[in-house]
Amino acid sequence: MRRVYVAGVGLTRVGRHFDKGLLELAAEAAFKAIDEVQLKPEAVIVANMLSSTLQEQDNLGSYIAGGLGLSGTQAFKVEAGDGSGGAALLAAYSLIASGTVSSVLVVGVEKMTDYPTSTVYKASSQVLDAEYELYYGATMASLHAMMMRRYMEKYEVPRDLVSEWPVLMHENGAQNPFAQIRRRISKDDVARSQIISDPITLMDSSPLGDGAAALLLVSDDEASRVQSKPPVELVGVVSASDNVEFTARSELASIPAAREAAKKLQERFGVKAGEVDVVELHDSYTIAGLLLLEELGIADRGTAPRLLSEGRFRAGDRPAINLSGGLKSRGHPLGATGVYQAAEVVMQLRGDFPGLRQEGAETGIAVSMSGVGAFVSVALFRRV
Amino acid sequence: MSMSPARLWRNRIPRYRIVGIRCEDCGRAHYPPRPACPYCGSRNVKTEEMPKRGKVLSFSITYSVPEGFRARSPLVIATVELENGVKVVAPLTDVDPSQVSTGMPVEAVIRRIRESGRYGLIGYGLSFRPLRFGS
């Protein structure tokens, strides 16, 4: 197995880019990543969820590669719902580690703001079971709401304590220039904001936004040829799937795939999620962030909100969680989100993240998830 | 969702009669039906009609409804645990959303779920309503 390094990263600020389509968004992030080392990648992997539904554009690999002036490369799209970014990293890592290619450009891109919210909610809820959940009008929010209600009842956690999560996310994201919502909020703001799917409020939910993020990955041979040696290694990517239907889960307030992915991380790399310096994880809704902390073994069951209220997981603590502001504040452009998380972890390790920093960070993980946990991946990065 | 007659027809039995599967190897039941057991992976599964009563395990009251559901807002979606322990996700009906609570006994009924346009197909499906004394 060849080692894999990150030669370049690029981000677009998440937001409502009415003047930009998929290609323009992708170009902004991809050109930044490529220009760090001026290297034409051998392959392009596009992470995206809804181009087929919202942009009526398939063949996305060729569409993006061609549009970026990279036709001739091996190009395709990877889709794993809103965990597509993590799945694309797994594919890219495998292509290089196996010796199939020496460089891969991973571009995550999603365009969500051209349509009314109800249209986008319906489309993004396609990660659920089409015949037995989506058919009945269930959404990402309503399933997360059932997890949240169950969690609050099971562990007797009051609304106020749960609100610790979005408050911290906005505190972190306020300093991230790439974040969609850069303002602080209070626990009162969370409780009083519009109800999306009771008990989930607007401030428990990630915003809808367009975005693109890119990572240029290279093999060790290629790394020695580029001008400046890449300082961060992608050590590996593990992932686990779970049944798409929510009803297969024995406990509603759980994400079994996250537990499984954390187990694989430890078995393959001897690393516990709680022992790294920085973590970017998938908080599409408040409850997802809290449950991931617990399922990954970073917090004990039912304790994540209390630990947050005691000041844990901020910059300087180990691990520091979502210094980007997470999906809540940075934003959640579905298929692109996992690539954002990876780029943010890489910048933390390089020491050039333009927001809140974890000083001296040496290891970090990016945790991508789809739906209510049908797919979870963990990408492990290390400063070399 | 674009509905087609074949698509609605194909799922009519599991959807209207709550027919799931039981694994002949590990003994566990599951809904909706799958070609293999989600718990042990065995392909030795048989279809089985599930009980029609259960209790609300968790629920959500959705105001931000997806396209096509505006007339039904707020939409109460619940996870119901049937009497045999199998879980089902379906809307609650014939109930004031403020009266819904976890643990509430419910029974299955068939309801109109969705339409494709004014003159298009009508999709029916499962809903649960509160179990009333004597019903």
> Which pLDDT value is given to residue B45?
98
The H-or-E segment that residue B133 falls in is none
Range A117-129 burial, b when 16+ CB lie within 10 A, else e: ebbbbbbbbbbbb
* H or E stretch covering B86: none
Cβ neighbours of B29 in A, within 8 Å: none
Mean pLDDT of B121-127: 96
Contact A146 B88 (CB under 8 A): no
| Mean predicted confidence (pLDDT) in A347-372 | 97
What is the pLDDT, as a whole number, of residue A225?
Answer: 85
Q: Could you read off the pLDDT of A203-243 as tens digits, one per residue?
A: 999 999 999 999 999 999 998 888 677 899 999 999 999 99
CA distances from A67 to A21, A60, A63, B64 (A): 12, 10, 6, 36
CA distances in angstroms from A342 to A9, A34, A220, A239, A279, listed in the order given = 9, 16, 19, 15, 10
* Cα dihedral sign, A173-A175-A176-A179: positive
Rounded CA separation A317/A307 (Å): 12
Q: Please write the tens of the pLDDT for every residue from A83-134.
A: 999 999 999 999 999 999 999 999 999 999 999 999 999 999 999 999 999 9
Tokens for B50, please give them.
């599930």
Query: Under a CB-based contact definition with an 8 Å cutoff, are residues A296 and A281 in contact?
Result: yes
B8 residue type, one letter: L
| Whole-Å CA distances, A144 to A9, A97, A109, B61, B134 | 32, 36, 24, 11, 34
CB contacts of A117 in chain B (<8 Å) are: 64
Residue A290 pLDDT exceeds 60: yes
User: ipTM surpassing 0.90, yes or no?
Assistant: yes
Cα–Cα distances in angstroms (integers) from residue A172 to residues A296, A318, A323, A358, B30, in the given order: 21, 15, 5, 12, 42
Q: How far is B51 from chain A (nearest CA, A)?
A: 15
Mean pLDDT across A294-299: 98
Q: A122: which chain B residues are within 8 Å (Cβ-Cβ)?
A: 66-68
Residues of B in contact with A119 (CB under 8 A): 67
Q: Are B72 and B93 in contact (CB under 8 A)?
A: no
Q: How far is A118 from chain B (nearest CA, A)?
A: 5
Identify the residue among A146, A244, A291 best suited for mutation to test binding to B, counting B beta carbons within 10 A and taking the highest.
Answer: A146
| Per-residue pLDDT, B2 | 76
Judging contacts by C-beta atoms under 8 Å, the chain A residues touching residue B70 are: 118
Task: Output the six-digit token pair for B23.
Answer: 């694994």
Q: What is the pLDDT of residues A134-188, one digit of tens each?
A: 999 999 999 999 999 999 999 999 999 999 999 999 999 999 999 999 999 999 9
Measured distance CA(B90)–CA(B85) in Å, rounded: 15
Specify whether the CB–CB gap between B80 and B52 falls below 8 A. no
Q: Is the pLDDT of residue B93 over 70?
A: yes
Q: Which residues in chain A touch residue B30, judged by CB atoms under 8 angstroms apart?
A: 247-248
Residue-averaged pLDDT of chain A: 97
* d(C-alpha B128, C-alpha A378), whole Å: 38
Q: Nearest chain A Cα to B16, which residue?
A: A132
- For residues A345 and A62, what is the distance between their CA atoms, to the nearest angstrom? 28
Q: Is the peptide bond before B74 cis (omega within 30 degrees of 0)?
A: yes
Answer whether B60 sits within 8 Å of A246, measured CB to CB. Answer: no
pLDDT at res. B135: 52
Contact A47, A29 (CB under 8 A): no
- Among A129, A131, A197, the residue with its CB nearest the CB of B60 is A197
| pLDDT of B67 above 90 | no
| Model confidence pLDDT, tens digit, residues B98-115 | 999 999 999 999 999 999
State the Cα angle at A281 between A279 and A21, rounded to 5°: 120
Q: Do B1 and A130 touch (CB under 8 A)?
A: yes
Asked if the Cβ–Cβ distance from B58 to A149 is below 8 Å, we say: yes
Distance, in angstroms, between A130 CA and closest chain B CA? 8
The answer to whether the CB atoms of B61 and A197 lie below 8 A apart is yes
Using CA atoms in the order A338, B68, A144, B20, what is the torsion angle rounded to 10 degrees? -110
What is the least distance, in Å, from the CA of B130 to any CA of chain A? 18
To the nearest whole Å, the CA of A198 is away from the closest chain B CA by 5
Conformational region of residue B85, where left means phi above 0, alpha means psi within -120 to 50, and beta covers everything else: left
- pLDDT tens digits, residue range A16-63? 999 999 999 999 999 999 999 999 999 999 999 999 999 999 999 999
Strand order in the sheet with B19-23: B29-30, B19-23, B45-49
Whether residue B50 has pLDDT greater than 60: yes
Q: What percent of chain A has pLDDT over 70?
A: 100
CA distance, residue B117 to nearest chain A CA (Å): 15
Which of A131, A143, A204, A242 is the best residue to mutate to test the B interface, defined by the most B CB atoms within 10 Å of its own CB? A131
pLDDT at B60: 98
Under 8 Å between Cβ of A343 and A330: no
If you measure CA to CA, which chain A residue comes closest to B113?
A136
CA distance B34 to B32: 7
Q: Which amino acid is at B135?
A: S
